[in-house]
Amino acid sequence: MFIQTETTPNEDSLKFIPGVPVMGEGTAEFLDTRSALKSPLALRLMGIEGVTGVFYGPDFVTVLKDSETAWSVIKPEVYAMLMEHFSSGEALFRTEEDRESAGPQDTRILDTDSETVAMIKELLETRVRPAIMEDGGDIEYRGFTDEGIVQVKLKGSCRGCSSSTVTLKSGIERMLMHYIPEVKGVEEVLDQEEEIALNEFQKLEERLAKQHGDEKQGSKQDSSMAQYMSV
């Protein structure tokens, strides 16, 4: 078996292509050990030091890492685990119920959906999702507000990617607004855990900035004192 890799717009994400079906249809994402319990392969991959997420596409596996760990350290272990799994014929999920619950049901058109929502889901499923999967990611429909805002969630390699804002505004938003006049914009929503993590990160940045400012102020005072003493 020969496993190919493809880079993605996110430098902390790599797309691994084993040459055989992975999900076949649908996608699944695992961001912690608890969610990975459904899939033996995802659980093993999440056990690699530095790996922060695993994403299954129809025929690929995307692995996400932290920014401190180099791919040269992670890739050999990922290769070995993928090779072992797909050569053994082991099931991707522990049970069929786990597999069915893992894939997104967000773009399934419901009887209760308005015509506008149905059109949004159709475009996301047929036009947007295939393009994003090329980069090792996926998009999830989260809602349509009374103000005309389509709420979505980016997954896989698109999660945390610096170009995701460009993808949303220049690509997805422009297309949806072109085909559906009721759409006034597109925004990404965060899960509660992600909002907490983002808030904590912002607090850390503020503390570091304040500390840096205090150090600069102390340095200026020391310099002024030295000049005074030298007079």
- The pLDDT value recorded for residue 73 is 94
What digits encode the pLDDT tens for the residues 190-220? 765 555 544 554 666 677 777 766 666 665 5
pTM of the model: 0.68
* Beta carbons of 133 and 26 less than 8 angstroms apart: no
Element (H, E) at 64: strand 61-65
pLDDT of residue 228: 47
pLDDT digits (tens, 9 = 90+) for 2-42: 899 999 888 899 999 999 999 988 888 898 898 899 999 99
Greatest alpha-carbon pair distance for the chain in Å reads: 85
Contact 23, 58 (CB under 8 A): yes
Average pLDDT over residues 42-50: 96
Q: Which of 124, 142, 140, 126 is nearest to 55 (CA)?
A: 140
Residue 224 pLDDT greater than 60, yes or no: no
| Range of 88-97, 134-143, 164-173, 216-225 with top mean pLDDT | 88-97
Provide the pLDDT confidence category of residue 45 given band limits of 50, 70 and 90. very high
pLDDT at residue 69 tops 50:
yes
Give the pLDDT of residue 221: 56
Could you give the strand order of the β-sheet that contains 13-17, starting from the edge strand earlier in sequence? Answer: 4-7, 13-17, 61-65, 51-56, 28-30
- The pLDDT, as a whole number, for residue 197 is 47
Per-residue pLDDT, 229: 46
Distance CA 160, CA 154 (A): 9
For the segment 76-133, what is each residue's pLDDT rounded down to a tens digit?
999 999 999 999 989 999 998 888 877 666 777 888 899 999 999 999 888 888 888 8
Q: How many CA atoms lie within 13 A of 223 on its CB side?
A: 6
Phi, psi of 20, rounded to the nearest 5 degrees: -135, 160
